[in-house]
């Protein structure tokens, strides 16, 4: 399984400061079903700044449409690669913003 962040930008639909991460997960078809993604946003020194949470459906992104089982006619498709795309959002509170500003390597 491979996880790739395609882009990071401000999340415009939040009232508070937030970042959106467009993430793509590549995996073998029918081997895994990815139901959701969540994680933590960490600073360069490993401090947790926020949780990363999946946000609803993203326009133009397909949802899981099929499942397979070993020992069936789909066995040959277990080796085929597929990818799932997710939109993750990290809401940054005042403490996280203050921490980032105080540890900015670019004065």
Whole-prediction pTM value?
A: 0.74
How many Å apart are CA 39 and CA 67, to the nearest integer?
25
Predicted confidence at residue 40, as pLDDT, reads 94
pLDDT tens digits, 59-73 = 555 555 566 666 676
Predicted confidence at residue 107, as pLDDT, reads 65
Contacts of 26 (CB under 8 A, 6+ apart): 1, 2, 3, 4, 81, 82, 83
CB 107 within 8 A of CB 47: no
């Amino acid at each position: 399984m491979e996880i790739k962040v395609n882009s990071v930008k401000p999340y415009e639909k939040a009232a508070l400061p937030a970042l959106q991460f467009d993430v793509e997960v590549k995996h073998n078809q029918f081997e895994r079903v990815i139901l959701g993604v969540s994680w933590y946003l960490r600073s360069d020194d490993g401090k947790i700044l926020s949780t990363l949470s999946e946000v609803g459906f993203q326009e133009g992104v397909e949802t899981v449409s099929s499942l397979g089982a070993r020992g069936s006619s789909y066995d040959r498709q277990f080796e085929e690669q597929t990818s799932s795309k997710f939109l993750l959002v990290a809401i940054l509170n005042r403490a996280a913003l203050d921490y980032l500003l105080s540890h900015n390597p670019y004065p």
